[in-house]
Structure 1
Amino acid sequence: MISSFFEKSKPIHSVIAVSVLLLVFVFAKISAISEPFSLYLLFKQIGVFALCVLTVFLLDFLVSKNNLTRKNSYKVLIFVLFVALLPNSILNTDYIIANIFVLFAMRRLISLRSQKQIKKKLFDAAFWISLATLFCPWCGLFFFLIIISLFLYSIVDIKNWIVPIIGVATVVIIGWSFMIVAGMDYVAYVNNMFGVSFDFSKLNDLSIVVAITLLLSYGNWAIIFYIKQLKSKKKNYRPSFIIILVAEIIALAVAVVIPDKNGSEFLFLFAPLAIILTNYFEIIEEKWFREVLIMLLIVAPIVNLIL
């Protein structure tokens, strides 16, 4: 059974996950790319796929390093199945890069639990989120994660609250300098950064509707149990789980307000939701029910291909 196979963390699971991701990536790109084949195009897409693989391993590292789940491969499996369910999520390279930077920032914020090198971790988190904002301006909403982390870890020293501002200023100065050297109109860039649109008509495709409905259904159901389980978590680990939950809420907000809606904006939900859903899978006593949930995530992308 699939749930039993992924119940333990093994290298073969990563091989399977990357293989499935490759199939989904090739299918998504063949459907989306219209330019003629060239070596440049080939190497470019190999680089983009490498970023997708990096995202998977970064998620696995984030979870394993901070004990956000038990030692299993559910989070990797779920993440890849989410991508398979909504292949459009990996069509925007900028969003893939931004998502990686957000994961780096989350890793630094969660590691504040140790209360060591606080200033360095806060600077890094602000720096990574600022970089993410360059690729997806609405990723700036993830700065709320820093503020929430400061409260959750009871960091009251005013100097530590100033450090994230320095991290943001660093990226602003570097970005501004680059735009001046490159002769870019930074005023126009800033003015056009935060476009907002609540027009969801571009998502009015049956396969996308099915994917989003399934994602939100799984997410809402799992979050209910995730919140219930927070009190049972060790006190010093509890802030880490709250950060994941807040990250999921922020990712949903990003997907709602982002102007160019085509499905790629949902990529930001996948990592935190994979962690939340994995926590839910771990408390399901009926193995058959867990098997059904996983099989549904496997069958749904195949059905979407037919739609």
Structure 2
Amino acid sequence: MITSVFNKSKPINFILVLVFVISVFMIANFNALFNFTESILKILSKFLLIVFLVFLLDFIVSKNNLTQRNSYAIMAFGILLALFPNILNNMDLLLANLFIVFAMRRIISLSSKKSIKKKLFDASFWIALATLFYFWAILFFAIIIVALIYYSQNDLKNIIIPFVGIATVAMFLSIYNIILYDEFIRQSNFERFASLDYTAYNSSEYILKLTVLFTSFIWTVIYYFRSLSEKNKKNRPSFYLIAWASIIAILISIISPTKNGSEFIFLLAPFSIILGNYIEAISEKWFKEVFVGALIATPIIGLIL
């Protein structure tokens, strides 16, 4: 039933996901909305960010043919968001993730082999900007290295371009610091905290959610890699880059200093695409419904536990 609704790319599907995401947002920000613990402007900004992110993901997927003509990717995005609603409470993480998605959009579009230098500059610029809001976003520079291997093996200029993007952000940051604080770089610009303490996950809710997340991740990623040989040769590097992005996102969640679910924010976009590819490939309708139903049921059961 659920999968049959999203097996076509229709405007109504986007609206359904949007309504679902808004509901999750309302629940996640319930106290702030009714107790005025945050300014209305900040709440509205977070809301607009997450709505725009849904739109952006849908655009990237359809523009680059990352799934067939369906809405499974944005459906998966909504489900993953419901799995870890604390993602919606951290403005810095939301901004950092938005910039990473901007960067991924430019990196994935390298498959067209057009304006490579501009796209590399844009991608490095966005990742550097994301790093200012969340330091460990810096790990996504590895995606640019992988992209260079795929698309620009022999052009030295293309290797230099990402450093120009980084330097541009550093220049703007220095100007900002000089104007406001009369210094070039402040220590607070790059807070490099990390933690391998997972005691926060020692609850029935997190054990359930993490079990479902990592089980589905391993299961679908294995299938994802096995199915890459069937993808269009021109677009195949894009699918590899998405897989690498999801692995980096997992690594970030492992070393993140905060363990409340928000650390999985960078996994949302790439894993949604991977899930979308897996769901559309399931031939048994009953299994497809059970799989999606289990994903939807997990956050609901998590609330009860």
TM-score range (shorter-chain normalised) is: over 0.9
Query: Which blocks of at least 5 consecutive residues in structure 2 are unaligned?
Result: none
Give the equivalent residue in structure 1 for 2:63. 65
Give the equivalent residue in structure 2 for 1:274. 272
Give the equivalent residue in structure 2 for 1:42. 40
- Measure, in 1, the Cα distance between the counterparts of 2:196 and 2:300: 29
- Measure, in 2, the Cα distance between the counterparts of 1:187 and 1:57: 35
Counterpart residue identity of residue 188, structure 2: Y
Q: What is the 5 A alignment of 1:9-88?
A: 9-31=9-31, 33=32, 36-37=35-36, 41-88=39-86
Counterpart residue identity of residue 211, structure 2: T
Q: 1:248 aligns with which of 242, 246, 249?
A: 246
Q: 2:101 aligns with which of 100, 103, 109?
A: 103
Give the equivalent residue in structure 1 for 2:220. 222
**SS of the residue aligned with 1:70?**
coil
**Residues 279 and 183 of structure 1: CA distance in aligned 2, closer, same or farther (over 3 Å):** same
Give the equivalent residue in structure 1 for 2:124. 126
After TM superposition, where is structure 1 displaced by more than 4 Å over at least 4 residues in a row?
none
CA contact (8 A) 2:81 2:87 kept: yes
Counterpart residue identity of residue 188, structure 1: Q
Output one character per residue of 1:148-201: Cα deviation in whole Å (capped at 9) or x when no partner.
0010124421011000000000001111221121117734225x5222211112
CA contact (8 A) 2:124 2:163 kept: yes
- How far the C-alpha of 1:223 sits from its partner, in A, is 0.5
Query: Which blocks of at least 5 consecutive residues in structure 1 are unaligned?
Result: none
Count of aligned pairs: 304
Q: 2:159 aligns with which of 158, 161, 165?
A: 161
Give the equivalent residue in structure 2 for 1:201. 199
**SS of the residue aligned with 1:97?**
helix
TM-score (norm 1): 0.95
Give the equivalent residue in structure 2 for 1:263. 261
CA contact (8 A) 1:90 1:267 kept: no
- Measure, in 1, the Cα distance between the counterparts of 2:237 and 2:78: 26
Output one character per residue of 1:229-269: Cα deviation in whole Å (capped at 9) or x when no partner.
11111211110000000000000111111212221110111
**Residues 12 and 196 of structure 1: CA distance in aligned 2, closer, same or farther (over 3 Å):** same
- What is the percentage of aligned positions where both structures have the same residue? 46
**Residues 193 and 294 of structure 1: CA distance in aligned 2, closer, same or farther (over 3 Å):** same
CA contact (8 A) 2:127 2:141 kept: yes
**Residues 11 and 184 of structure 1: CA distance in aligned 2, closer, same or farther (over 3 Å):** farther
Counterpart residue identity of residue 170, structure 1: T
Q: 2:139 aligns with which of 135, 138, 141?
A: 141
Q: 1:173 aligns with which of 163, 171, 174?
A: 171
Q: CA RMSD in A?
A: 1.7
- Measure, in 2, the Cα distance between the counterparts of 1:61 and 1:36: 35
- Measure, in 2, the Cα distance between the counterparts of 1:88 and 1:204: 17
CA contact (8 A) 2:106 2:122 kept: yes
* Structure 1 position 234 matched with structure 2 position 232: yes
- Measure, in 1, the Cα distance between the counterparts of 2:285 and 2:12: 22
- How far the C-alpha of 1:34 sits from its partner, in A, is 9.3
- Measure, in 1, the Cα distance between the counterparts of 2:110 and 2:153: 9
- Measure, in 1, the Cα distance between the counterparts of 2:39 and 2:34: 9
**SS of the residue aligned with 1:182?**
helix
- Measure, in 1, the Cα distance between the counterparts of 2:187 and 2:109: 37
Give the equivalent residue in structure 2 for 1:295. 293
Counterpart residue identity of residue 187, structure 2: A
TM-score (norm 2): 0.95
